[in-house]
C-alpha cells in the first residue's frame, strides 16, 4: 500500500508554510501532484516520490528567513 499525504502534511514535513508550497505549485517551480475530488472539494494527493522531488527543490532553492539563494 502506498503512503499518501495532504498538502498541509507535506508542508509540515518540509518545514515550509502551506502557502509557500502552493506558491511553488502555481509558479510552476514544482510539478503538480494528482488531484482527487471528494464531494465538492478537490484535493492534491502527494506520494513519497512527490515529496522527494519537492525536498530536492527546497534544498536547491530555498533559505528560510534569508530569501532565495543567490543565482550563480
Question: What is the SS3 assignment for 62?
Answer: strand
In terms of residue numbers, what domain contains 12? 4-64
Residue labelled with grid coordinates 522531488: 53
- pLDDT tens digits, 3-56: 899 999 999 999 899 999 999 999 999 999 999 998 999 999 999 999 999 999
pTM (predicted TM-score) = 0.78
Number of domains into which the chain is organized? 1
CA distances from 65 to 16, 40, 48 (A): 11, 36, 27
Residue 29 DSSP code: S
Q: What is the CATH number of the domain that holds 53?
A: 1.10.1660.10
Where does the pLDDT of residue 72 fall: very low under 50, low under 70, confident under 90, or very high at 90 and above?
A: low
Neighbour count for residue 1 (Cβ, 10 Å): 3
Assigned domain for 70 exists? no
Integer-rounded Cα Rg, in Å, for the chain is 13
Assigned domain for 60 exists? yes
Assigned domain for 37 exists? yes
Amino acid at each position: 500500500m502506498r503512503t499518501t499525504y495532504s498538502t498541509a502534511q507535506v508542508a509540515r514535513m518540509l518545514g515550509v508554510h502551506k502557502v509557500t508550497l502552493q506558491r511553488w505549485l502555481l509558479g510552476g517551480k514544482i510539478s503538480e501532484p494528482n488531484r482527487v475530488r471528494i464531494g465538492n472539494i478537490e484535493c492534491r494527493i502527494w506520494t513519497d516520490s512527490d515529496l522527494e522531488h519537492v525536498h530536492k527543490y527546497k534544498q536547491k532553492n530555498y533559505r528560510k528567513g534569508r530569501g532565495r539563494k543567490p543565482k550563480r
